Amino acid sequence: MDSTNTPNSSDIDTRKILLIGDITGVFSDADAISRLPCQVHRNMLDGIDSAAKNSFLGIGVVMSGASTKLSSALKALREAHRDAKIVLLAQMHEEPAAMQLVNSVSNGKSVADDYLICPVNFSHLVSRLSYLIQGAAAPAPQETILEAPAAIDYTTERKIKHLERLATEDDLTGLKNRRYIWEFSRQIMELARGENGKVTLLVFDIDDFKHYNDVYGHCAGDEILKQAAVLMRRCCRGHDVVGRIGGDEFAVVFWDDPQLKRPKKEAERRSATAEHPKEAIFIAKRLRRELGKAEFHLLGPEGKGVLTISGGLASFPRDGSTVQELFLQADKALLEAKRSGKNRIYLVGRPPNDIADIE
């Protein structure tokens, strides 16, 4: 019997993988792609047509360069081939949009099943697709599984996903870690540079946090950080990136909504002297207000209304043209807020500095 027709739950036939989009730079082992028998279509419409006419186990969709109506295209792709698992291949700055698409449901099925941050090994995509297939209802033997570039150990795949999270997330709060925030900021600033876009960085910490650790213990301090992280996520928009960059210090990267493309003329009007986006200031105010009235049950009856933060806001391109410059300026504004009495968020060198005084 030919080995490609032998069912094996740890393998997946690469001939049954469809790749849609420009795969240049997507795979770190790009040379291997040309030797693999998967189908590749640069155009989404061609990919949807192929999905409707052929049987695939998995589909990888490159997000970069895709239409702004990617959600609609993915829904059409899902309708064309409802059984195939769809994995989005995203750049780091596209992760918020990828997460939104994975969490979107159309006709009872998610628009996409998972996403990977590029560049990624093709074998990792195969592994992720196999992992998703195994988690679904068992398909007919001839549909599952045939030949693979390497046997897939699903325990290993789970470990890989865990390691992926450790590499990008803070293990205590689940927020993005410092390394991710810096790399994301670099990528999104490069994107904004080409589109006259705007990026605003908020850096803040919890006032007198050492006091909470000393008086209530480190467990209470950890609880404060975790609850604060939940509040931060609630206050920010879905595409903004929230991270813990060390101790009780946090950062939020505000940027233009990737789902809302601005008209070209509006983009051209933006300049280095443009004001901070009103949304960033509004959210920073809301964040400070919500943290200030939050209840932290481990602190007993005094656990309400005692948590304050101090922070600094800096904006690209006005306040800095690199990640280092932007963080430096935001840190300077944070220190100025501390020296001025804490419990406030300052803009970089802009009187009135305190955002509370800005309508």
Q: What number of CA atoms fall less than 13 Å from residue 18's CA on the CB side?
A: 29
* Res 137 pLDDT > 50: no
DSSP sequence for 297-358: GGGGGG-BS---EEEEEEEETTT-SSHHHHHHHHHHHHHHHHHTTSS-EEETT-SS-BGGG-
Determine, yes or no, domain membership for 134: yes
Q: Measured between alpha carbons, how far is 274 from 167 in angstroms, rounded to an integer? A: 35
Q: Say what the pLDDT of residue 14 is.
A: 56
Q: Which of 137, 167, 197 is the last residue of a domain?
A: 167
Is position 172 within any domain? Answer: no
Distance CA 343, CA 350 (A): 18
33 vs 24, 136, 306, 307, 333, CA distance in Å?
Answer: 10, 27, 57, 53, 48
Counting Cα atoms < 13 Å in the Cβ hemisphere of 240 gives 22
Write down the pLDDT at residue 9: 35
Q: Label residue 244 left, alpha or beta by phi (over 0 means left) and psi (-120 to 50 means alpha).
A: beta
Mean pLDDT over each residue of the chain, to the nearest integer: 79
Output the pLDDT for position 258.
Answer: 54
Q: Would you call 331 a catalytic residue per the annotation? A: no
The Cα-based distances of 227 to 127, 148, 178, 187, 252 in angstroms read: 35, 44, 19, 29, 16
State how far the Cα of 229 lies from the Cα of 177, in Å rounded to an integer: 12
Q: What is the secondary structure of 225-259 as a DSSP string? A: HHHHHHHHHHHS-TTSEEEEEETTEEEEEEE--TT
**pLDDT value at position 175?**
94
In terms of pLDDT, which residue wins out, 26 or 150? 26
Same domain as 190, residue 107: no
Percent of the chain with pLDDT over 90: 29
pLDDT tens readout for residues 305-356: 567 889 999 999 888 999 999 999 999 999 998 888 888 888 876 555 777 6
Q: What share of the chain is helix, strand, coil (3-state, %, to 5)?
A: 45, 20, 35
Q: Which domain holds residue 256?
A: 178-357
Instruction: Give me the number of domains the chain comprises.
Output: 2
Taking the C-alpha atoms of residue 220 and residue 214, their distance in angstroms, rounded to an integer, is 10
Q: What is the mean pLDDT of residues 293-301?
A: 71
**CATH number of the domain where residue 348 is located:** 3.30.70.270
What's the pLDDT score for residue 75? Answer: 92
pLDDT at residue 257, as a whole number: 63
pLDDT digit string, tens, across residues 78-134:
999 888 999 999 988 888 888 889 988 887 788 999 999 888 888 888 888 888 887
Q: Taking each helix axis from N to C terminus, what angle separates 70-80 and 95-102, rounded to the nearest 10 degrees?
A: 40
pLDDT at residue 347, rounded to an integer: 81
Asked if residue 337 and residue 230 are part of one domain, the reply reads: yes
* pLDDT tens readout for residues 231-285: 898 888 888 899 999 999 999 999 876 555 554 444 444 443 445 567 888 888 8
Give the pLDDT confidence score for residue 152 in this predicted structure: 47
Q: What is the per-residue pLDDT for 105?
A: 84
Q: Is residue 110 part of a domain?
A: yes
Give 266's contacts (C-beta < 8 A, 6+ positions apart): none
pTM of the model: 0.68
Kindly state whether residue 173 falls inside one of the protein's structural domains.
no
Active-site choice (248, 256, 331, 357): 248
